[in-house]
Structure 1
Amino acid sequence: MSVPVAYRGNTSESVADWLNKGDNAWQMISATLVGMQSMPGLVILYGSIVKKKWAVNSAFMALYAFAAVWICWVTWAYNMSFGDKLLPFWGKAKPALGQKFLIEQAELPATTHYYHDGNVETAMATPFYPMASMVYFQCVFAAITLILLAGSLLGRMNIKAWMLFVPLWLTFSYTIGAFSLWGGGFLYHWGVIDYSGGYVIHLSSGIAGFTAAYWVGPRSTKDRERFPPNNVLLMLTGAGLLWMGWAGFNGGDPYSANIDSSLAVLNTNICAATSLLVWTCLDVIFFKKPSVIGAVQGMITGLVCITPGAGLVQGWAAIVMGVLSGSIPWFTMMIVHKRSRLLQQVDDTLGVFHTHAVAGFLGGATTGLFAEPKLCGLFLPVTNSRGGFYGGVGGVQFLKQLVGALFVVGWNIVATTIICLVIRLVMPLRMSEEQLTIGDDAVHGEEAYALWGDGEKYDSTRHGWYSDETQHNAVATGVTLNV
């Protein structure tokens, strides 16, 4: 009996001699786990953690971003992030859609690393799976960055302005960070470490979200004073998807199902658990009761902090990073925020500045201290890399981490500001006062929960309930509703 072509090893184009089925399976699983962090993870978390009147709008901002990034990514943004070099910080824009491109072995052409004398130090990254898997994996990272950024803008950004913001920020901000640190740009070749996105994703989304929040303006006064989650249990469901999805987030970045990916997944859970417990303990010590939202924030800061060094630090260092990520962002959010005029002025809805920018910077800096030499050799293109804790050139590595962070911060402030000002020339960045007062029903004509019957709404002028269908039929026929 003949074997179908799809399963013939090294004898057909569907199973090329360079294909490692295990690596390819893990890469696609990792990409799917990361995608599930956004859809449905953050869609559920955002729709649940906000006030009831903003549940639909918040979930839709995440859903829209996930879809919009996909089309932009395969049309031009993938190659700007991981293709041939155009500038030291930017790749050449071109589509990633043709079968000739997508079925070939994955490669990141700008990643060949050279010694100062011109000899090759580390060959170009060429994972043992097709370009299609690489495009898929990197796309979900780009998408979640925009969705994390949205957390700073919930409850007041004009949805049409958001629809413009997503492709513009992806093109002029995300691709810069991705190419510079991952795709073979100047920070990559200089040796700045960002294992899985502490800078590219978290620091950038935190800074850009805070900057955009400044330009968009605050929520209504009533919303800022009281903004309770509408469903804590669903919020925890979204948070759980985020935590478990991080196995793909950090475990997929060695581009292989190897030893380093196993260590990265283990360290991710160690740091997240430590951070959650530390944050919760601080809440109990200072506020006399554990906060569920606080525990979720501690979980997130732990996941963010370990990300830039997940496969490069030892387990004890992951615990230390968890202690720091559970305490320093807690301090900036609970103490510094309340005393800072700037932080009070800018309405960062979910505190993304603290949970992602502060935690991302902290993770990058501590990676510069704790990156273990042998583990660095398993992953990094620059030989003899090590953290400051291990002596040698480690002190230089720590300084490189700080400079890399400053570049990401500076670029995102400038690029996000320009994007917001350009959009403001076309349309308002902020919703109208009527929309801010009413919420989802005014913005989308939809509400999250039909609390009083099957989709019925209360007419205060007639003191009764009516359904959208009844109202529509009455308007169409000219009948007066007696409700």
Structure 2
Amino acid sequence: MKMKKLVSLTGLGAVALLPTWAMAAAPVADKADNAFMMISTALVLFMTLPGIALFYGGLLRAKNVLSMLTQVAVTFAMVCVLWLIYGYSLAFSEGNPFFGGFGWTMLKNIELTALTGTFYQLIHVAFQCSFACITVGLIVGALAERIRFSAVLIFVLIWLTFSYLPMAHMVWAGGYLAAQGALDFAGGTVVHINAASAGLVGAYMLGKRSGFGKEAFKPHNLPMVFTGTAILYVGWFGFNAGSASAANEIAALAFLNTVMATAGAILSWVFVEWMLRGKPSLLGACSGCIAGLVAITPAAGTVGVGGALVIGLVGGVAGLWGVVALKKWLRVDDVCDVFGVHGVCGIVGCLLTGVFTSASLGGVGYAQGVTMGHQLWVQLFSVIVCLVWSGVVAFIGFKVADMVVGLRVSEEQEREGLDVNSHGENAYNE
């Protein structure tokens, strides 16, 4: 027995004499986490092409559907290239509280075996690129059916550089809002409010479509809307669960929360619409689905499943209010209701994250010493910062585009349709 104790004590003494660097386990790539993050990245890319393209395309009139598909496809490619050149570096490398540096420009200084947690950093580059792509894709829905294609490209260059990149750095790379304690698991501020604010500013600056309020502007293809919605729903699991950055219990929580919040929002939107209008609609169900997905995004990995359901139920009603009442009050022609759904539900989700993250309500709990009141204030502050920052940058971006090429097509071109006038194509042959 004494010999065993001696051996044990000798072993402990030897460990104590080891240098600190030898005791700390070096990060090791985990095959499961790498596979999980690659699948998640592919799902988020799938949300943009074809998800958001089909969803928005179906909402437009037939003469403009190809213009939407083209805008989404080309801005997607543009964001990917800019992300490689400087976007990832400015968003995620070390820098000041608002921007990263240029150390990872063209991905230089990122070794092939470099890790982000337990998966390769190159996968992180692709994962975050997919978020930037869909954020830009969301904006064009507010500008549809009257914006000049070249103006879209100029705007994207400016807005991505001076709004999306700093917001991503402030929230997800230890920047200003992260230092304040803001909670945004998968993009309530960075993606949805950011895009919604820019879309709202653009809709105001473009003005209403010719005939808006006098003619019936109805979605030309609801089955296309449904298909886009279904793709977005499936892809959103990469969006939310993938934000756990590992195939772990937080990913499982985010996955289930996404299911329940979306189900709650579909039901609340459809039943309230049914009471108000007398009939439940497919468009309402699709819109409720997106509303629930948006609302749970900032909270997916920190709230309990019961909290997620409540967030979804509230998000569905809030989204319906946003596209019916708020849109009329704002007197804006936001064609695909980017602000009404992504802005309103993003704000609701961010604020309710501050409530349902509480351990007493089933969440994972706040940081040590943080109260619900303080967290709510931080969440509100992050919402305000995002709305103002994105709105100002968007105004500048659209103004520059207007001065260089002009924002809007002529009334004659608008009435004939952007498919023919901007791209020389027809979606449907008679």
Please indicate, yes or no, whether the TM-score normalized by the shorter chain is above 0.5.
Answer: yes
Alignment of 1:429 with 2:407, yes or no, is: yes
Give the aligned residue type for 2:377.
L
Distance 1:212 1:94 in 2: 33
1:158 aligned onto 2:167: no
Q: CA distance change for structure 1 residues 182 and 224 in 2, over 3 Å: closer, same or farther? A: farther
Which 4+ residue blocks in structure 1 deviate beyond 3 angstroms? 93-100, 372-377
Deviation for aligned residue 1:178 = 0.4
Name the counterpart of 1:448: 427
Report the alpha carbon displacement of residue 95 of structure 1 after superposing the two structures with TM. Answer: 4.7
TM-score scaled by length of structure 2: 0.90
C-alpha contact (below 8 Å) 2:265/2:291 kept by paired residues: yes
Give ranges in structure 2 of 5+ residues lacking alignment: 1-25
In 2 relative to 1, CA 224–96 (structure 1 residues): closer, same or farther, beyond 3 Å?
farther
Partners of 2:277 and 2:259 in 1: CA distance: 26
Distance 2:379 2:322 in 1: 21
Which whole-Å CA distance do the structure 1 matches of 2:408 and 2:389 have between them? 24
Q: Where does the alignment leave 5 or more consecutive residues of structure 1 unmatched?
A: 1-15, 107-125, 386-391, 452-483
Answer yes or no: is the 8 Å Cα contact 1:77–1:94 preserved in 2.
no
Q: Let me know the Cα RMSD of the aligned residues.
A: 1.8
- Aligned ranges for residues 266-415 of structure 1 at < 5 Å? 266-338=256-328, 340=329, 343-344=330-331, 346-373=332-359, 376=364, 383-384=367-368, 393-415=371-393
Query: Any conservation in 2 of the 1:198–1:360 contact (CA below 8 Å)?
Result: yes
CA distance in 2, matches of 1:156, 1:239: 24
Using structure 1 for the length normalisation, give the TM-score: 0.80
Structural mapping, 1:52-63, within 5 Å? 52-63=62-73
- Give the superposition deviation at 1:164: 1.1
Q: Which has the higher helix share?
A: 2
CA shift for structure 1 position 98: 4.7
> Where does residue 42 of structure 2 map in the other structure?
32
Mean alpha-carbon deviation: is it higher for 230-239 or for 139-148? 230-239
- The SS at the match of 2:243 is coil
Contact between 2:87 and 2:161, CA under 8 Å: does it hold in 1?
yes
Q: Contact conserved, 1:169 with 1:419, CA < 8 A, in 2? A: yes
The alpha-carbon distance between structure 1 residues 17 and 93, as it changes in their structure 2 partners (threshold 3 A), is closer
Deviations 1:359-407 (A, max 9, x none): 0010000000110448546xxxx8427xxxxxx6121011100011110
Q: 1:224 offset after TM fit, Å? A: 6.9
Give yes or no for the alignment of 1:83 onto 2:93.
yes
Task: Compute the displacement of 1:282 (Å).
Answer: 1.0
Matches within 5 A, 1:188-267: 188-221=178-211, 225-267=215-257
CA contact (8 A) 1:196 1:310 kept: yes
Q: Does 2:81 match 1:103?
A: no
Q: What displacement does 1:434 show?
A: 2.1
- Give the letter aligned to residue 409 of structure 1: L
Call closer, same or farther: CA 1:224–1:209 in 2, change over 3 Å.
farther
Report the CA distance between 1:102 and its aligned residue. 4.8
CA offsets, 1:252-277, max 9 Å, x none?
A: 11111110001101101100111011
Match of 1:45 in 2: 55
Higher relative contact order (CA 8 A, sep 6+): 2
Cα distance change, pair 179–100 in 1 and its aligned pair in 2 (3 A): closer
In 2, the alpha carbon distance for the partners of 1:94 and 1:156 equals 40
Q: How many residues align?
A: 402
Q: 2:74 & 2:363 partners in 1: Cα distance?
A: 38
TM-aligned CA deviation for residue 330 of structure 1: 1.2
Distance 2:247 2:229 in 1: 25
SS in 2 for 1:219: coil
Please name the residue that 1:475 is paired with.
Answer: none
Question: In the alignment, residue 362 of structure 1 is paired with which amino acid?
Answer: V
What is the alpha-carbon distance in structure 2 between the residues aligned to residue 176 and residue 155 of structure 1?
30
User: How far did 1:93 drift?
Assistant: 3.4
Q: Percent identity?
A: 36
Q: Structure 1 residues 189, 222: CA separation in 2 closer, same or farther (over 3 Å shift)? A: closer
